[in-house]
Amino acid sequence: MPELSIFKSLAPYHIISYGTLLGTEFFQTFVGGIVSYQALPRPQFSQLQQKLFPVYFGLQTAFPAILALTYPGSKLLGIQSGLQGVLADTWGALFPIATIFVTSLANWAIIGPATTSIMRERKHQETRDGKKYYDQGPHSEEMNKLNSAFSSMHGLSSLLNLAGFIMTCWYGVSLAERIQ
């Protein structure tokens, strides 16, 4: 049974935050998104993602900040707690945590809203064209531009998300090294 004094330490909050971040990223990237895409018709899948992604990217942005603030120090190893400890460990903590934060913030504040805007414009173009964006071609020049823009933004968002996931794993390895 753990000592109750551990709750005065940053360590349990750090580990729980890290686990929540990794689990959320893994599930959304490799399970939830894929299963939803396969199970739902495109319009419903699109609506679901429009509601999920702001929450997901918001959590993915908040958790690196929480990780930085709850970074557990070690008197034995001479490592400071909190942000000072993160700043002192450039490659093991600062680089991965900062990368997760920046890629997630870009998705949450810029890429996600831009992608949603393109999706809405594409919906309006479907009404003008009398044809769904995913119907067999040919498509209007405007729809082709919107489809291309959506593909680019979606690809960039996926790349940023994958970079964040890889950095979360990298940070997990760094954290594990400290446990040994």
Q: Where are the domains of the chain?
A: 7-179
pLDDT at 2: 67
Contact 150, 118 (CB under 8 A): yes
Band (pLDDT 50/70/90 cuts) for residue 1 is low
pLDDT of residue 74: 77
Work out whether the CA dihedral 173, 175, 178, 180 comes out positive or negative: negative
Q: What are phi and psi of 74, to 5 degrees?
A: -150, 115
Average pLDDT on 18-27 reads 98
Could you give the percent of the chain with pLDDT greater than 70? 98
Res. 49: pLDDT tops 90: yes
Beta carbons of 67 and 17 less than 8 angstroms apart: yes
Mean pLDDT of 10-27: 96
Output the six-digit token pair for 77.
């190893």
Distance CA(157)–CA(130), nearest Å, equals: 29
Q: Residue 100: name the closest of 22, 35, 167 by CA.
A: 167
pLDDT at 3: 77
**Rounded Cα distance, 58 and 78, in Å:** 33
Q: What is the pLDDT of residue 146?
A: 97
Q: How far apart are CA 70 and CA 82, in angstroms?
A: 5
> Which of 51-65, 123-137, 153-167 has the least mean pLDDT?
123-137
Is the Cβ–Cβ distance between 60 and 111 less than 8 Å?
Answer: no
Q: What is the mean pLDDT of the chain?
A: 94
Instruction: State the pLDDT at residue 123.
Output: 94
pTM of the model: 0.91
Q: How many angstroms separate the CA atoms of 24 and 74, rounded?
A: 28
Burial-class residue 103 by CB neighbours within 10 Å (0-12, 13-18, 19+): buried
Say if residue 59's pLDDT is above 90: yes
